[in-house]
Amino acid sequence: MRRYVFGHPIETEAVLEKPPVTTDVMTELQVGASEEFPLTFSMEMDEDDIVYGLGENVRGINKRGWLYTSHNSDDPNHDEGKHSLYASHNFLLISGKKHLGLFFDTPGEVLFDVGYQHYNQLVISLPEGDVEVYTMEADSDLEVIRQFRHLIGKSYRAPKWAFGYGQCRWSYMTSDEVREVVQTHRKMGIPLDMLYLDIDYLDAYKDFTTNPKTFGDFDALVSDMQKEHIHLVPIIDAGVKMEDGYDFYEEGKRKGYFCKDENGEDFVVGVWPGDCCLPDMLNDEARAWFGDGYKFLLDKGIDGFWNDMNEPALFYSRKHLAEVFEQVGSFAEGNLDIQRFFEFKDMMTQISNNEEDYKSFYHNYKGQKIRHDKVHNLYGYYMTRSASEAFARLVPNREVLMFSRSSYIGMHRYAGIWQGDNKSWWSHLLMNLKMMPSLNMCGFLYTGADLGGFGDQTTEDLMIRWLSLGIFTPLMRNHSAMGTRMQEVYRFDAVEKMKGIIQLRYRLIPYLYQAYEKAINEDTMMFYPLGMVYPTDAIARRVEDQLLVGDDVMIAPIYEQNAVGRVVYLPEEMTLLRFRGAELVEQTPLPAGHHYVEMPLGDVCMFLRDGHQLQLARIVDSVADLDWDNLTFV
């Protein structure tokens, strides 16, 4: 492991115990500069090298052939043309004759050209010349990962119940609706452990409140749910509503805990409630204050949270909006020719998450005034850390579930993440699968995607197929956006099939949880690309749509509409385990090689490695009832 320092990097706290700085000239990468960038790193790759990493991002498990940018972005309409998603995870692993790990630790933007301009060239460019670079070489990919993970510290450990099934919707509008959703699951025998509360449980979208009209019985709701073994998991948003008389806002304002504009005034942005201020999560005192806000819900018995809009997502800033309002009238007159029309349109579409806005407010970070864009990628990390540190202070004996939308490496010690606003698209099901190992490498083990898809209209078969993948991911949550088809599994004709798949999840929890704990304890992964486990198998190294889950089983999900089976590659002899719903109905040993395996809707196939075993629990309605000692072994 080597650590190089370039310029004057801003501390991120991704790494807590740093190795000494290497003063030798860097040999792993060529250091340079270009017209556009004051600092670049490059290397020639072999034709056969695979480049793993970059955590939450678009495209393949092998990242070659595209450009990626570290810039935490709120983008519910992302597709494979994008370069950034909600998080920045600047770790790469070049796997070929050598095994080289690279970590670029900087809170600002980083551009990764992974064989995009030139297939054999890796070029990393920094708009600012400040970064700490860690390099790791070892005899295997997994050893590089172990070293990297050791460097960044142990991953967050979620409670066991967080491996149950969760139901979410933007939004369940009243406590009665929440009760009804839970009761329907219970009545129909569909297992459930978590019911998520989206923004409408809040009073006018104000953090750390509850809506007195629609959730007037919040305390009773929490305790009634607890009796049913249901954990309510409320959302917390980064922006704090500006409203006189709202205690939390007034306190933040009085104490100077919000991000400031260049004149030292609170910077005003728009999120759900309209005008908001952004807590300065990077300021130690403000961070402790924001974390203390969670006490309101902890005191009510809440033990799970999801942190949102923490890229931070900005609908608008008051400053920029004033400019827009000033100019917009001028477009009402005269002809809107191509130029004028697009000027008008761009003005409108660039109101949200505007880059100029990110350059218009400041943090007080470690006693220094720092412009937001220089530390942009840390905001979600520090918001989530504020909560985690508060839990340790306020409820040291409570196991708390928490995951965030935005993140940076380092945050993996405090919480999990979900994969952001996806769509009910088959391509996003596949993306969910591909992201799992990339995230694991970067320390994010408790993770999963919105099952069924968040935006757009899901279909019954997509829901079934996505659940069939989701039963393996630590976070297993069905979530959908306002205005889309209702997505609770009991809304579909095929509810019995879906129920069977969810029951299978519960049968798998002991296996999954031990794989998860092992990945934490041993700084390894829960989801492996085949190439990492069978490094000498040239075919396995190229497989992009199958994964090993834990040490014992391989999965090969269906991700295409109307498919009734698929080709599966077995790097070694394996036993096909076919589950019809929760029941194991077939065990067929198959030789190594390619096989076409039928997978009708409702069948879940797993492939058990030769000489390995899989433990299965009995079907239960919630993790609290799970019998961890009486397991069946296959």
Binding to ligand GLC by residue 198, rule CB under 6 A?
A: yes
Which is nearer to ligand GLC, 37 or 170 (by Cβ)? 170
Secondary element (H or E) of residue 99: strand 99-105
Helices and strands counted in the chain (H then E)? 15, 37
Q: Which residues contact 385 (CB under 8 A, 6 or more apart)?
A: 281, 287, 411, 414
CB 477 → ligand GLC: shortest distance, Å?
Answer: 10
Count of beta carbons in the 10 Å neighbourhood of residue 25: 7
- What are the φ/ψ torsions at residue 465 (nearest 5 degrees)? -65, -35
Binding to ligand GLC by residue 235, rule CB under 6 A?
A: yes
Which is nearer to ligand GLC, 260 or 477 (by Cβ)? 477
Which one of residues 126, 197, 199, 617 is an interface residue with ligand GLC (CB under 6 A)?
A: 199
Which is nearer to ligand GLC, 136 or 235 (by Cβ)? 235
How far is Cα 288 from Cα 441, in angstroms, rounded to an integer? 29
Which is nearer to ligand GLC, 198 or 552 (by Cβ)? 198
Long-range contacts of 533-540 (CB under 8 A, 24+ apart): 533/571, 534/571, 534/572, 535/95, 535/140, 535/141, 537/571, 539/569, 539/571, 540/569, 540/571
The interface with ligand GLC within residues 455-514 (CB under 6 A) comprises 479
Which is nearer to ligand GLC, 421 or 545 (by Cβ)? 421
CA proximity to 422, closest of 466, 464, 378: 466
How far is Cα 580 from Cα 498, in angstroms, rounded to an integer? 11
Cα dihedral sign, 513-518-523-527: negative
- Angle value at C-alpha 83, between 77 and 88, nearest 5 degrees: 100
Secondary element (H or E) of residue 221: helix 218-227
Contact letters (x/-) for ligand GLC, 376-415, by CB under 6 A? -----------------------------x----------
CB 190 → ligand GLC: shortest distance, Å?
Answer: 21
Which one of residues 266, 308, 373, 456 is an interface residue with ligand GLC (CB under 6 A)?
A: 308
CB 350 → ligand GLC: shortest distance, Å?
Answer: 19
Contact letters (x/-) for ligand GLC, 142-171, by CB under 6 A? ----------------------------x-
Which is nearer to ligand GLC, 170 or 344 (by Cβ)? 170
Binding to ligand GLC by residue 421, rule CB under 6 A?
A: yes
CB 359 → ligand GLC: shortest distance, Å?
Answer: 24
Tokens of 129: 């010349």
Which is nearer to ligand GLC, 197 or 617 (by Cβ)? 197
How many chain residues bind ligand GLC (CB under 6 A)? Answer: 9
Residue nearest to ligand GLC (CB): 170
CA 428 and chain centroid, separation: 13
Tokens of 256: 């100077």
Contact letters (x/-) for ligand GLC, 11-50, by CB under 6 A? ----------------------------------------
How far is Cα 283 from Cα 209, in angstroms, rounded to an integer? 24
CB 235 → ligand GLC: shortest distance, Å?
Answer: 6
CB 200 → ligand GLC: shortest distance, Å?
Answer: 8
Residues that bind ligand GLC (CB under 6 A): 76, 170, 198-199, 235, 308, 405, 421, 479
